[in-house]
Amino acid sequence: MLRAAGADVVGMSMAIETIAARHGGADVLGLALVTNQAAVSGDLPEVEAISSVGRAAAPYVAAVVRHVVGSLR
């Protein structure tokens, strides 16, 4: 259904958390890391496989966060 509506990725909870944060007056910047393609393949990956992708991406995510935070100063 979501692919038919144009979605490429579906997150778990960022939208609800963003709504709550905005309601509380916070500015929000969302950053998501896609760690599996369960919906594409139909197979649910093992937790270690998901964790491995996250660990491999950590330096890149950290660089993005450093850049964004640095640009806010």
Q: Which domain holds residue 32?
A: 14-71
Q: Is 4 domain-assigned?
A: no
* Model pLDDT for residues 8-58, shown as the tens digit of each residue: 777 778 889 999 999 999 999 888 888 876 656 667 778 888 888 889 999
Query: CA 32, 35, 40, 44: dihedral to nearest 10 degrees?
Result: -130
Q: Is 26 domain-assigned?
A: yes
As for how many domains the chain has, the answer is: 1
Q: Is 6 domain-assigned?
A: no
Q: Is 38 domain-assigned?
A: yes
Q: Is 21 domain-assigned?
A: yes
Contacts 24+ apart (CB under 8 A), 46-49: none
Q: Is 8 domain-assigned?
A: no
Q: Is 7 domain-assigned?
A: no
Asked whether residue 65 carries a pLDDT value surpassing 70, the answer given is yes
Q: Is 54 domain-assigned?
A: yes
pTM (2 d.p.): 0.64
